Amino acid sequence: MQYRRLGKSGLKVSALSFGSWVTFSNQADVPLAKEMMAAAYDAGCNFFDNAEAYAKGKSEEIMGEALSQLGWARDAYIVSSKVRWGAVDNPKPTQVGLSRKHVYEGCYQAMARLQVDYLDLYFCHRPDPEVPMEEIVRAMTELIQRGLVLYWGTSEWSAQQLMEAYSVARQYNLIPPTMEQPQYNMFHRRRFEVEYGRLYDVIGLGTTIWSPLASGLLTGKYNDGVPDDSRLNLKGYEWLREMMESEEGQKRLASVQELAQIAGDLGTTMPKLAIAWCLKNPNVSTVITGASKVAQVEENMQALDVADKLTDEVMEKIEGILDNKPEPMDFQ
């Protein structure tokens, strides 16, 4: 495993991490959670990502139970939560959003569900235009000063919102966000590569990127139809299936077939190639992998070996197939 600094912070996060968005949703998943997390941990993974919204808090409960049964030293791993959408059906106005109230209560509730005394990373899962930036940055700063959170961050905030948070922190002597959690994969590049371009240097932004396999599209598993046991067949994920069946989705599938040939030539698999491609970007602090089976975790955790095989020549070939390199902004 390789460990990368989370932006300009001193925290060393494993280049490959594990998230439980779709995977853990009821109590019966605890044994699977333990097995998957242990497979990741044994491969050197030290970061386990979660959110209050995942399965309405169930995902955190299951991860918490797994962590407690696995009994790892608390200082050997990093665990996160994200606040924004709440963890209950039909939430009251105070049970969602980024008000000081919900940011605090979301933190206490996530700690209880995860069975930890503090959250290593705490993200604002999306921006909340109804809450003043100063209230958000101040609440996060206080949680850090109280020892309940170690680093705070954002997820899918625009570069402008990130700069606003940073400026507010500087203006009032508060703590700015350390990291962002954006989507980044071969098919989704613009925000990460262009919009955030200057933030890596200017504010030392760390990144914990999500959906490196574009929800499985980049594994090649959909090249010949939709397997019964895949995410595209899950209830509630019809939007993903529609996306794949769209014209753009079909174009992407054709690219995956070509990319699979490159993977074959390199003696590797499509999932490992797609994850390794993300790892090649030095602004990625960690790639959060997702999985529905232990074997997938084991496979994905080997992606670093493939990153070494991605020479300039191979990267150029991949670029040719993707044909989606985002244009720089005028002022960059």
User: Which residues are near ligand NDP by CB under 6 A?
Assistant: 19-22, 49, 155-156, 181, 210-216, 219, 221, 230-231, 271, 288-292, 296, 299-300
CB of 115 to ligand NDP, least distance (A): 18
* Of the candidates 177, 160, 148, 208, the residue with the CA atom closest to the CA atom of residue 14: 208
CB of 316 to ligand NDP, least distance (A): 24
Report CA-CA distances (Å) from 289 to 49, 58, 156, 294, 316. Answer: 9, 19, 17, 12, 24
Half-sphere exposure at residue 237, Cβ-oriented, CA atoms within 13 angstroms: 15
| SS3 label, residue 72 | coil
Closer to ligand NDP at the Cβ: 257 or 312?
257
Closer to ligand NDP at the Cβ: 158 or 171?
158
Give the Cα-Cα-Cα angle 206, 48, 188 (nearest 5 degrees).
50
CB of 211 to ligand NDP, least distance (A): 4
| SS3 label, residue 80 | strand
The Cα–Cα gap between 10 and 55 comes to 32
Closer to ligand NDP at the Cβ: 21 or 196?
21
| SS3 label, residue 121 | strand
Residue in 3, 41, 54, 118 annotated catalytic? 54
User: What spatial distance separates the first Cα and last Cα of the chain, rounded to whole Å?
Assistant: 34
CB of 91 to ligand NDP, least distance (A): 18
| SS3 label, residue 283 | coil
CB of 250 to ligand NDP, least distance (A): 18
Closer to ligand NDP at the Cβ: 39 or 146?
39
The question of whether 41 is a catalytic residue gets the answer no
Q: Give counts: helices (H), strands (E), the chain.
A: 13, 10
Closer to ligand NDP at the Cβ: 174 or 287?
287
The Cα–Cα gap between 148 and 155 comes to 19
Active site residues: 54
